[in-house]
């Protein structure tokens, strides 16, 4: 059989986590020759994930530079992609999410007339400034893609409103839940010593629109919560972006019940989510995973492209707002019934079979 060449692209940590189930499922398909392109927009954090899922890139652009600017990252990627796409002659290219890698690959494929499948299509806030630059990235990728793998019905509706043809959209669920269940099934070891008697608050933060004063507000709120709750431990794996890392260490570095650490490998991070009482985060992926694990999330943003968990009452938006973060976190620490109302274990983003659905669409098209 003449195999079809499928090029799966990963650039950052969340892309690798969410693309891994698709890559692994494609590798079982007789009709597909699977190739993996790492732009390595992230270096260490991408490598961490690829190792967990035992995926070796066929091509690695090693593009990351310290504190990279969006324009130079985009320009350098576009140039490198020209050569890759020319050489690969792929029948389809798969991208995931809304990073600079995704937008740039979609554009380069358009120029090379290669069809693109967009995994996690149709997420929208409707505000180009929030999240920045991700809303623009996914709008552009969505305009250029041939296949739209929408995680939920509401993401499908967003695409229909933008004029995307219904027959090109398939609701698949989010592959992040596939990755989560694959990982939960393994032996999970957090690898960090915690007091078993004390509750754990897990924190992550990295959004560009929060850089500067909003991020300092977040740190002030965490500081206040840690002071008021000496019997609670706070674990914060700090994102390596210097705009986050330097401020987090400056403002929270020497605090007895706040433990700052390097980004955790995916399996230990899942262990940390499972061990946590409450999660405070601006991460997209964490907003999807934590509800499935029954953990309440306070989201450090004013808007979200993931409204489903908010509507179900298991995720709450608190913004990068000092008063709201302190008030809502304290309520969940003090008020058991408020806590139980949010810690319900619902999974609006997937059932763990999303990659199978994506592969089925491609099989039916190519075979
Ligand atoms: C990127 C994505 C964002 C995604 C996030 C996930 C864009 C514009 N942003 O944000 O949508 O939510 O990844 O984490 O695509 N760095 C390292 N090592 C790493 C990774 C990053 O040192 O493994 C540092 C580097 O200094 C790098 C900087 O972080 O220049 C920023 O990386 P970049 O990918 O541009 O943006 P993120 O903030 O990570
Ligand atoms: N994650 C991880 N280690 C960490 C923090 C997060 O493996 O120290 C995982 C998390 O479980 C989720 C993904 O990384 O699947 C989210 O990535 P990130 O928050 O960087 O990006 P976003 O989802 O906001 O695009």
How far away, in angstroms, is 291 Cα from ligand 1 center? 25
Give yes or no: residues 137 and 272 share one domain.
no
pLDDT reported for residue 62: 98
Distance between CA atoms of 177 and 285, rounded to whole angstroms?
A: 9
In a domain, 136, yes or no: yes
Share of the chain above pLDDT 90, in %: 96
Nearest CA to ligand 1 atom 19: 42
Share of the chain above pLDDT 70, in %: 100
Whole-angstrom CA distances from 190 to 3, 47, 95, 300 are 41, 19, 30, 24
| Entry field: residues in the chain | 367
pLDDT reported for residue 188: 79
**For all residues of the chain together, what is the average pLDDT?**
97
Give yes or no: residues 30 and 158 share one domain.
yes
Give yes or no: residues 219 and 305 share one domain.
yes
**Which residue range(s) make up the domain with 29?**
4-174+350-366
pLDDT tens-place string over residues 6-19:
999 999 999 999 99
Q: Is 283 in the pocket of ligand 2 (CB under 6 A)?
A: yes
* Residue 134 known to be catalytic: yes
pLDDT reported for residue 82: 96
pLDDT reported for residue 254: 84
Nearest to 93 by CA among 73, 76, 111: 111
pLDDT reported for residue 127: 97
* Residue 357 known to be catalytic: no
- Pairing assessment for the beta strands 116-119 and 59-60 based on DSSP bridges: unpaired
Give yes or no: residues 139 and 220 share one domain.
no
Q: Is 13 in the pocket of ligand 1 (CB under 6 A)?
A: yes
Point out the ligand nearest to the CA of residue 53: 2
pLDDT tens-place string over residues 170-215:
999 999 999 999 999 887 788 888 999 999 999 999 999 999 999 9
Give yes or no: residues 207 and 140 share one domain.
no
pTM recorded for the entire structure = 0.98
In a domain, 180, yes or no: no
Give yes or no: residues 137 and 225 share one domain.
no
In a domain, 304, yes or no: yes
Q: Is 97 in the pocket of ligand 1 (CB under 6 A)?
A: no
In a domain, 331, yes or no: yes
What CATH number should be reported for the domain holding residue 278? 3.40.50.2000
Give yes or no: residues 307 and 362 share one domain.
no
List of E strands, the chain: 4-10, 32-38, 59-60, 92-96, 116-119, 147-150, 169-171, 199-204, 232-237, 258-261, 278-281, 297-299, 315-317
**Catalytic one among 134, 209, 308, 328?**
134
What is the phi/psi pair of residue 298, to 5°? -100, 120
Give yes or no: residues 335 and 354 share one domain.
no
Give yes or no: residues 133 and 247 share one domain.
no
In a domain, 189, yes or no: no
- Pairing assessment for the beta strands 169-171 and 258-261 based on DSSP bridges: unpaired
How far away, in angstroms, is 283 Cα from ligand 2 center? 6
Per-residue pLDDT for the chain (367 aa), expressed as one digit of tens each?
789 999 999 999 999 999 999 999 999 999 999 999 999 999 999 999 999 999 999 999 999 999 999 999 999 999 999 999 999 999 999 999 999 999 999 999 999 999 999 999 999 999 999 999 999 999 999 999 999 999 999 999 999 999 999 999 999 999 999 999 999 988 778 888 899 999 999 999 999 999 999 999 999 999 999 999 999 999 999 999 999 999 999 999 988 899 999 999 999 999 999 999 999 999 999 999 999 999 999 999 999 999 999 999 999 999 999 999 999 999 999 999 999 999 999 999 999 999 999 999 999 999 9
Give yes or no: residues 154 and 221 share one domain.
no
Give yes or no: residues 261 and 292 share one domain.
yes
Give yes or no: residues 335 and 204 share one domain.
yes
Structural domain total, the chain: 2
How far away, in angstroms, is 43 Cα from ligand 1 center? 9
């Amino acid at each position: 059989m003449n195999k079809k060449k499928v090029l799966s692209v990963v650039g950052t940590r969340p892309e690798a986590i969410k693309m891994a189930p698709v890559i692994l499922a494609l590798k079982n398909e007789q009709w597909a020759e699977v190739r993996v392109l790492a732009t390595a927009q992230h270096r260490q954090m991408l490598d961490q994930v690829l190792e967990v899922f035992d995926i070796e890139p066929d091509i690695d652009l090693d593009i990351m530079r310290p504190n990279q600017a969006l324009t130079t990252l985009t320009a350098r990627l576009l140039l490198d992609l020209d050569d890759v796409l020319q050489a690969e002659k792929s029948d389809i290219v798969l991208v995931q999410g809304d990073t600079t890698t995704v937008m740039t690959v979609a554009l380069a494929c358009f120029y090379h007339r290669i069809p693109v499948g967009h995994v996690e299509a149709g997420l929208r806030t409707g505000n180009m400034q929030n999240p920045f630059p991700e809303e623009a990235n996914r709008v552009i990728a969505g305009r250029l893609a041939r296949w739209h793998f929408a995680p939920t019905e509401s993401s499908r509706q967003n695409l229909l409103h933008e004029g995307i043809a219904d027959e090109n959209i398939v609701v698949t669920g989010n592959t992040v839940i596939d990755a989560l269940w694959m990982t939960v099934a393994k032996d999970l070891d957090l690898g960090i010593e915690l007091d078993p008697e004390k509750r754990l608050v897990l924190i992550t933060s990295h959004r560009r629109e929060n850089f500067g004063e909003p991020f300092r507000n977040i740190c002030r709120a965490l500081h206040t919560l840690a002071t008021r709750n000496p019997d609670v431990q706070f674990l914060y794996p700090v994102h390596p972006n210097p705009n986050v890392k330097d401020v987090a260490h400056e403002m929270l570095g020497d605090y007895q019940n706040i433990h700052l650490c390097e980004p955790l490998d995916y399996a230990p991070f899942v262990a940390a989510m499972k061990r946590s009482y409450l999660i405070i985060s601006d991460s997209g992926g964490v907003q999807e995973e934590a509800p499935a694990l029954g953990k309440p999330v306070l989201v450090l943003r004013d808007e979200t492209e993931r409204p489903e968990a908010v509507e179900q009452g298991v995720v709450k938006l608190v913004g990068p707002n000092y008063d709201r973060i302190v008030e809502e976190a304290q309520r969940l620490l003090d008020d058991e019934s408020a806590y139980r109302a949010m810690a319900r274990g619902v999974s609006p983003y997937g059932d763990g079979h999303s990659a199978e659905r994506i592969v089925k669409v491609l099989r039916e098209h190519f075979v």
